[in-house]
Chains A and B, each alone.
Chain A
Amino acid sequence: MTTTRGPLLYARSRALPLTLAALAATAAFAVWAAGRLDAYLDPDRRVPIVALAPLLASAVIGTSLYSASDELDRTAVRPWWPRRLAQLAGLAALAALLVTPAVLGHTENFGPPAVIRNTLGCTGVTAAAAVLLGARLSWLPAFVYVTGVYLGSTTAHGRAATVWAWPMQPGSQPGAWVTALTAFAAGAALYAVRGARPEGPRG
């Protein structure tokens, strides 16, 4: 009989195989959708992919932060934060890697940098929401924010817009990068320290 090691048990308890499958499906969907958009005519047509693929990936990551055995987890002797941080950072990096092939080229506007930035930013917002609202509903704030910005920022210009409308900025905007990285750092730190909000069977 083989014994299963800690990390593997942890991965299983967070439904990571399912999460990885969902991330792969997200990436495949993004590639399929990008092919339909005729983006070679105009890179701006990729904006829906650049905004929505990271959003979907972050929703997948967010729901994987749920712990079914929260009370049991809290009795553990080992510190949780390295595992939580590794899980979140690993999934975010993987998601960023997976959604990039959908938008290759055009790095200066809506290409790989923009989609990587959005993946990090959305994951940060979702992780923070998992701490505050619970993992299962963690997708809601990022969804409300990104779709709201998607509809509302068509004419937003200026330095302030690069900060608040960061999901819709070209990849080379430093203001958007700063916001997204701050969101990721804050979300990851919050999640690593606190973990997802305990939900139990209610909620």
Chain B
Amino acid sequence: MTLVTEKKAPARAPYPLRTEALRGFAPWAGLAVLLTLGAPLCGKADQWQGDWAETAGQVHTAMLITLPLAAAAGCWQGGRERRRRTEELWGTTVRSPLTRLLVAALPVALWAAVGYLVVVAAALLASWPYVQGDRPHLVLVPGDTVAMAAGALAGHVVGRVVPTRLAAPLLAVAGYVGLGIVTADGSDALRALSPTTESPGGGLPVWWQPWAMAVWTGGLAVAAALAYAARRRATALVPLAAALAAGALLAQTGNGLWHTDPLARRQVCDTSVSPAICVNARYAGMLPQVRDALSGITDKLDGVRNLPVRWADRGSAPRAGEAQLPGITPLGWSTVRGRLTDPAQYAWEAVAALQGYDCPDTSTTDRVLTADDAVENYLAPSPVQKAIDGYDARGDKARRTALRERVAARARLAGMAERERRDWLSAYFAARGDCRAKEVPAL
């Protein structure tokens, strides 16, 4: 009896694309994108965590540095065969020039896009626990991802064509400066063509903008690759035509690419108190906190007449009869990660908004200032009030006299009977609301 042992078939060498993608420079390019984008985002996490729109805006505008970086990484990879002096050797292989180019270029493009997507996903996850309303803004992500891959591919072609060591850093800095100039002071049409562009007022793009942008950037890069390496160079005209069509569409539409988020115009209100408290619907979850912060004021104003109807937060100027709610945005100052950082300061700002701050200067007489100070101290004193008073107490005679008068006025307002104070406050808000300085009641 004989034992027959079959020889194992020799393992097939993995496809070159797999080797190129897992080894060498490509994963490092992805890591560089990850770090370049991730580190600045971590540095200013206070300004975007807890706001879907701001999170999306930050990762999108950071394309300003990641796109040139992807192009530079592609350019570096493109110069590889020249550095290794293997160009002639490659010329003897049976693979077509286009296949060889794509096998070397696609892994960097892929990793650059993956690095970008990982940061986007991490940013969304980091924002999620703190959001107060709204929904994730993912509409720009496809266009941005394609732009990253296209930047790496176009950079690769540049690296093949330009035989100098400086090509990659030059491309990086030139790309950075070019995108910066277009974003900062380009014309509307030019700005619409830049992959880093964003809405002037934080609006949303029309639904086809990311796809047109993807065709514009991707088409140009594919056209460059085909023109450089395809057997029939005329095939480059197809993606070029598509890119130009998409580019023309973007440039023609210009500012029409963006529209205001309808949610940003809506408000969520608590009308159980007077004045009513409204926060923007994008931060609906902030309403209980804002109500708590302002509860001291609304309790004390119970029964007072002539007040503004509500504190409004429309993202534009308040209407007649409304007061502006102190800003929740921009994040990072009064609000960080879905929390009011300083409720006392917020309450003081809310009182200041009730006092008709947009009156002309002629209406701010000493009498008005004294009354304003007394009302602020009664409703919600500023956290730095003691420091200001201490500063005045150490000042010259005029300042000390003014301080004494202010303290006396505060004491008179606080010492009034409940009803008397309600009437005084009603008269005060009536006069302040109409900017009639002379009718502000004396203290």
Contacts and interface: CB of A to CB of B under 8 A. Distances in A.
B189 to A, nearest CB: 19
Contacts of A56: 169-170, 173
Nearest to B29: A140
A2 B10 CA distance: 63
Contact of A52 (B40, B166, B173): B173
A125 B320 CA distance: 58
Contacts of A66: 165
Interface stretch (A96-104, A105-113, A149-157): A149-157
Nearest to A137: B76
A48 B185 CA distance: 14
A60 B177 contact: no
A155 B47 contact: yes
A36 B186 CA distance: 13
A66 B41 CA distance: 34
B39 A143 contact: no
B177 A155 contact: no
Interface stretch (B62-70, B102-110, B135-143, B240-248): B62-70
Contacts of B84: 201-203
A151 B165 contact: no
A148 B83 contact: no
A152 B42 CA distance: 8
Interface in A138-165: 139-140, 143-144, 147-156
A144 B76 contact: no
Nearest to A60: B166
A33 interface: yes
Given A66-B165, A140-B32, A144-B35, A151 B176 contact: no
Nearest to B85: A201
Given A33-B177, A149-B40, A144 B69 contact: yes
Interface residues of A, number: 33
A152 B176 contact: no
A24 to B, nearest CB: 13
B65 A151 contact: yes
A75 to B, nearest CB: 22
Interface in B10-46: 32, 35-36, 39-44, 46
A203 B83 CA distance: 7
A140 B172 CA distance: 9
B332 A155 contact: yes
B195 to A, nearest CB: 16
A22 interface: yes
A162 B34 CA distance: 24
B165 A155 contact: no
With a 10 A CB-CB cut-off, give which of A48, A60, A148, A149 has the most chain B CB atoms: A148
Given A151-B65, A153-B43, A154-B44, A144 B166 contact: no
Please provide the 10 A-B residue pairs with the shortest distance between their CB atoms, ordered closest to farther.
A152-B40, A59-B169, A152-B43, A139-B169, A147-B65, A151-B40, A63-B165, A148-B39, A56-B173, A144-B36
Interface of B: 32, 35-36, 39-44, 46-47, 61-62, 64-65, 68-69, 72, 76, 83-85, 165-166, 168-170, 172-173, 176-177, 180-181, 332
30 contacts: A52-B176, A56-B170, A59-B166, A62-B169, A63-B166, A63-B169, A136-B165, A140-B32, A143-B169, A143-B173, A144-B32, A144-B69, A147-B36, A147-B65, A147-B69, A148-B35, A148-B36, A148-B39, A148-B40, A148-B65, A151-B64, A151-B65, A154-B44, A155-B44, A155-B47, A156-B43, A201-B83, A202-B84, A203-B83, A203-B84
Interface of A: 22, 33, 36, 48, 52, 55-56, 59-60, 62-63, 66, 135-137, 139-140, 143-144, 147-156, 199, 201-203
